[in-house]
Amino acid sequence: MALRRVTGRGKLTEKDIDEMLREIRLGLLEADVNLKVIRVFLANIKEQALGEKILKGLKPGQQVVKIVRDELTKAMGQSTVGLNFKEKGQTVFMVVGLQGTGKTTAIGKLGKFISNEKEKARKVMLIAADVYRPAAIEQLKTLGQQTNVFVYEEGQKKATDIVKRGLKYASENKYDVVIIDTAGRLQIDEEMMQELKDIKEISNPDEILLTVDAMTGQVAADVGLTFHEQLGCTGVIMTKLDGDTRGGAALSIRYIAGIPIKLASSGEKLDSLEIFHPDRMAQRILGMGDVLTLIEEAEEKFSEKDAMNLMEKMLSGKYNYDDMLKQFKMIRRMGSLSRILGFIPGLGQIRKQMQNMDEKEVYKAESIIFSMTKLERQDPSLIAKSAKRRQRIARGSGVKVNDVNKVIESLNQQQEMVKQVAKNPNQTPTMPQAKQKARKGKGKGKGRFRF
Measured from the Cβ of residue 248, the count of other Cβ atoms closer than 10 Å reads 26
> 199-242: per-residue pLDDT in tens?
999 999 999 999 988 887 778 888 888 899 999 999 999 888 76
Domains of the chain (ranges; CATH) run 4-75 (1.20.120.140), 91-288 (3.40.50.300), 296-440 (1.10.260.30)
Q: pLDDT band for position 286 (50/70/90)?
A: low
Confidence of residue 176 (pLDDT cuts 50, 70, 90): very high
Residue 172 has pLDDT above 70, yes or no: yes
- Tell me the mean pLDDT in the region 27-44: 81
| Exposure string over 19-43, b if 16+ CB within 10 A, otherwise e | ebbeebbebbeebbbbeebbeebbe
Q: At residue 355, does pLDDT exceed 60? A: no
**CB-hemisphere CA count at 13 Å for 239?**
26
Averaged pLDDT for residues 12-40: 79
Provide the edge-to-edge strand list for the sheet that holds 124-128.
150-152, 124-128, 177-181, 91-96, 207-213, 235-239, 261-265, 273-275
**pLDDT for 401 beyond 60:** yes
pLDDT of residue 44: 86
Angle 260-264-267 from CA coordinates, rounded to 5°: 165
Please count the residues of the chain.
Answer: 451
Res 289: pLDDT: 45
Report which of residues 24 and 400 the model is more confident about: 400
Tell me the pLDDT tens digit for each residue of 298-326. Answer: 555 555 566 566 666 666 667 788 888 88
**Cα angle at 82 between 142 and 115, to 5 degrees?**
35
The answer on pLDDT for 141 being more than 80 is: yes
| 74-78, 233-237, 285-289, 399-403: least confidently modelled range | 285-289
> How buried is 311 (Cβ within 10 angstroms: 0-12 exposed, 13-18 middle, 19+ buried)?
middle
450: confidence class by pLDDT, cuts 50, 70, 90: very low
User: What is the per-residue pLDDT across 150-159, written as a single tens digit (0 to 9) for each?
Assistant: 999 998 899 9
**12-26, 276-290, 346-360, 380-394: least confidently modelled range:** 346-360
| Beta-carbon-side half-sphere exposure of residue 446 (alpha carbons within 13 Å) | 20
The reported pLDDT for the residue numbered 305 is 63
Read off the pLDDT of residues 71-120 as tens digits, 9 standing for 90 and up: 888 888 878 888 999 988 899 999 999 888 889 999 999 999 998 887 67
Average pLDDT, the chain: 77
Handedness of CA 332, 334, 340, 344 (dihedral sign): negative
The answer to whether residue 435 scores a pLDDT higher than 50 is no
